[in-house]
Amino acid sequence: MNLEGTGGVADIEHAARSAREASRVIAGFETKLKNRVLVEIASLIAAREAEVLAANAEDMSAARAAGLPSAKLRRLELSPAALTQVRAGLEQVAALPDPVGMIVRDDVMPSGLRVRQERTPLGVILMIFEARPAVTIDAFALCFKSGNACILKGGREAARAARVFADIAREALEIHGCPGNSVTVLPELSRDDLRHLLTLDRWIDLCIPRGGTELIRFVREHSTIPTVQHYRGVCHVYVDESADLEEAERICVTAKTSAPAACNAVECILVHRAEAPRFVARLVAAYAGAGVEVRADQGARVFAPTAKEADTTDWGSEFLDLVVALRLVDGMDEAIAHIAHYGSDHTEAILTRSEERASRFVREVRSSCVLVNASTRFNDGFHLGLGAEIGISTSRVHAYGPMGLEELTTKRFIVEGSGQTR
Amino acid sequence: MNLEGTGGVADIEHAARSAREASRVIAGFETKLKNRVLVEIASLIAAREAEVLAANAEDMSAARAAGLPSAKLRRLELSPAALTQVRAGLEQVAALPDPVGMIVRDDVMPSGLRVRQERTPLGVILMIFEARPAVTIDAFALCFKSGNACILKGGREAARAARVFADIAREALEIHGCPGNSVTVLPELSRDDLRHLLTLDRWIDLCIPRGGTELIRFVREHSTIPTVQHYRGVCHVYVDESADLEEAERICVTAKTSAPAACNAVECILVHRAEAPRFVARLVAAYAGAGVEVRADQGARVFAPTAKEADTTDWGSEFLDLVVALRLVDGMDEAIAHIAHYGSDHTEAILTRSEERASRFVREVRSSCVLVNASTRFNDGFHLGLGAEIGISTSRVHAYGPMGLEELTTKRFIVEGSGQTR
């Protein structure tokens, strides 16, 4: 369904109720049917590529006219290459094992009861997101494959491209005789309407907000629907005293430049004071060569006076841009304390040649993903082997870290007896 | 900690912050230490049994004077036998495997990254409950064993016994050098203070409300802390046309009488119309013999005129007492539709000799636990092999059905590389 009406409470409730009805049907779908729909969407995107790109171009020029910051513009932009990636993503989700119906436990109890636990869809998933238009397709693909209906509330900036994507999804659903309400793309909503939507826990099982901190706070405050937060990614790399400095330079630089606006990009480098004389100047030079602005503390600027002086607001900042903070620490204690204070439980890495020190860092830093000698940017569903992801949860309930297909399901108990009373 | 002060915002925030600090310490505790504390509590309960029972007796007489309904009084009452069970529960939790640090996945990716997922505590768990005083000990035991600090907000009716239990837990923690703030028992709070408590998501990771529907609604509306609901248990038994009627009679009767106030007790029996002539009269007679009031629809009363006439509010009611609703259905479709409309996603059972019909029921009824030829009362953590439970979730996010130790943890990613950049 593509809600193009005036919105309002009645329309919103109708959308949620229709999604609930669709979810009952989707829950029983065979894997093959779900896969056929996903592959169909991929070919329709190829067939309608010009249309998608034209809609995105309109979104982009409106966004530029409205003066959107460069980080947001980067998230908004689609290209033929990006669409190829969207299609590859669809094929990939189609190829993933279907979690629905998976038996995760099968035991016989002393009572003689046979107890199984089976993966089952959550039901209806509401996703609220900003800028990135391709989320419309990515999120639908993951929700649908895991047997859920979804309601998508994207950002105004991406509305034109999102509408075309929704159209394509609906066309594919119709071709294969699936309910169109498997996906609902909501139009722009007033704050009051959004607030109302967030109370429809009768029909919506999970809400996933992805976007700025203001959006997440709004959802957390007003939602009575269980919510998995995709909050900020304030990711740290700690360069330990025993790090391989050549490797460290490569990891620090690419962890920022490979995707500056990604939530798993590094935002702050902590360097062990003992390595500062050998490492800081070369790191700052490498960053400068890659066009990255470094905001360094006093200690680091001794070795790299060209670096901009950091102010206290730079610690804990999610720059989402070609900017990185740099700070010297006296040792691992201070690095861990900095992360505990300024981090967002998202992704942290230690670069070290000491196994013992690595394992202490891993034990004491409790972020959703802690890496040793690798870039923070590996914290995503694809690189961690989930196949794909709908987001990275920074709250510990339901899912912590990348959420793949399994995290869009729950487990139910099926018990077979032979007359057991109690 | 036992907050005996005047309450108020400052006290509440202090309690939450202290619990957060304790949680960091507990997360690193060895299994043996945690077990020693639990076993210590069990012996202290034995040593101070008279004191616990005296406090409970005071709670009981105050509750009787206040005219509490019999279902609530039953939940409130402690006895030497009940205390023996509490102690057995502690020994049992001590004997269970510790989920913290369990590696649930260990893979090497094509990138060469070794990806592990490890169980880790949630952090701080807030439990809000009514009447049952032993929940103080049960909940603490499960939270502590799974590496979490807990904040317990019990009902006013059980305050005296809860205070003695909290005292005992604190004594055991002190004996073994563990932070007293591992458990905080909150005093009676004003609605405003409770509302404030529910916004402390900075320090509290999960809220578990257990109690009446009004309490759950209040929590759902005001909590910004992720919440797993232990909502109503409107459990159904569907007696199919191919049921073994002798077995069916036994299951239906005990599923109510063995613990009428339990959330997994049956509240409504649906009987296939074809079996009504052979089954309804004997079932109603058996219930009468067991002191259970039957509220039956017109169709059933044809075969058992002594049964009380049901009114529409009886469908979907959680009686929590020696009362059961009884309704004839034309077949499985009607039974499934009745459950979808009036059920609470808690526990449903089918009694049938047909494997095919059983598997259809299991497929189409999506409650947290669906049983075949067994009593609904088997839906608890102990009988389903979790060892123990902190509650039965009726919402699908994080946990669905009984929550044991594993459901009080989450999973985090630990990734080992060798210089991988991205």
pLDDT at res. B211: 80
pLDDT at res. A132: 85
B64 to chain A nearest CA, in Å? Answer: 29
pLDDT tens track for B248-290: 999 999 999 999 989 999 999 999 999 999 999 999 999 999 9
Q: Do A420 and B368 touch (CB under 8 A)?
A: no
Q: Does B385 touch chain A (CB under 8 A)?
A: yes
pLDDT interval class at A107 (50, 70, 90): very high
Q: Are strands A293-296 and A308-309 parallel, antiparallel or unpaired?
A: parallel
CB A364 within 8 A of CB A354: no
A392: Cβ contacts below 8 Å, ≥ 6 apart? A230, A233, A263, A264, A346, A368, A379, A380, A401, A402, A403
Has residue B421 been placed in a domain?
no
Check whether residue B111 and residue B181 sit in a common domain.
yes
Q: Do B419 and A251 touch (CB under 8 A)?
A: yes
Please name the amino acid found at residue B412.
R
CA distance B149 to A183: 40
Check whether residue A185 and residue A316 sit in a common domain.
no
Check whether residue B84 and residue B123 sit in a common domain.
yes
Q: Does A410 touch chain B (CB under 8 A)?
A: yes
pLDDT at res. A7: 59
Output b/e per residue, A387-419; b: 16+ Cβ within 10 A: bbbbbbbbbbbbbbbbbbbbbbbbbbbbbbbee
Q: Does B306 touch chain A (CB under 8 A)?
A: no
What is the rounded (10 degree) CA torsion for B283, B288, B292, B296? Answer: 60
Two structure tokens written together for B272: 């296939």
Q: Does B219 touch chain A (CB under 8 A)?
A: no
Has residue B172 been placed in a domain?
yes
Best residue of B413, B416, B418 to probe chain A, by most A CBs closer than 10 Å = B413
Check whether residue A52 and residue A66 sit in a common domain.
yes
CA B300 to chain centre: 33
Q: Does A377 touch chain B (CB under 8 A)?
A: yes
Has residue B216 been placed in a domain?
yes
pLDDT interval class at A71 (50, 70, 90): confident
**Looking at chain B, which residue has its C-alpha nearest residue A123?**
B396
**Looking at chain A, which residue has its C-alpha nearest residue B260?**
A422
Check whether residue B244 and residue B225 sit in a common domain.
no
CA distance B255 to B248: 10
Predicted model pTM: 0.92
Token pair 């005996």 is at which residue?
B4
pLDDT tens track for A366-397: 999 999 999 999 999 999 999 889 989 999 99
Ranges under pLDDT 70 in chain B: 1-7
Two structure tokens written together for A375: 């870039």
Q: Are strands A235-239 and A347-351 parallel, antiparallel or unpaired?
A: parallel
Q: Does B418 touch chain A (CB under 8 A)?
A: yes
Q: Do A384 and B413 touch (CB under 8 A)?
A: yes
With contacts defined as CB-CB under 8 Å, which chain B residues touch A375?
420-422
Q: Does A88 touch chain B (CB under 8 A)?
A: no
Q: Is the pLDDT of residue A131 over 80?
A: no
Has residue A388 been placed in a domain?
no
Question: Which residue among A206, A370, A374 places its CB closest to the CB of B397?
Answer: A206
**HSE-up of B199 (CA within 13 Å, CB side)?**
11
Token pair 């690095």 is at which residue?
A335
CA distances in angstroms from A148 to A20, A22, A233, B166, B191, listed in the order given: 9, 8, 27, 43, 37
Check whether residue B209 and residue B274 sit in a common domain.
no
What are the DSSP calls for B206-243, one per residue?
EEEEES-HHHHHHHHHH--S-B--B----EEEEE-TT-
pLDDT tens track for A188-232: 888 999 999 999 999 999 999 988 888 899 999 999 999 998 888
Check whether residue B182 and residue B76 sit in a common domain.
yes
CA distance B34 to B41: 11
Domain count, chain B: 2
Check whether residue A117 and residue A76 sit in a common domain.
yes
**Looking at chain B, which residue has its C-alpha nearest residue A24?**
B364
**HSE-up of A363 (CA within 13 Å, CB side)?**
12
CB B304 within 8 A of CB B236: no
The fraction of chain A above a pLDDT of 90, given in percent, is 88
Q: Do B418 and A373 touch (CB under 8 A)?
A: yes
Domain containing B334 — which CATH number? 3.40.309.10
Check whether residue A257 and residue A185 sit in a common domain.
no
CB B155 within 8 A of CB B178: no
Domain carrying residue A274: 235-378
Has residue A250 been placed in a domain?
yes
Give the gyration radius of chain B's Cα atoms: 23
pLDDT at res. A212: 81
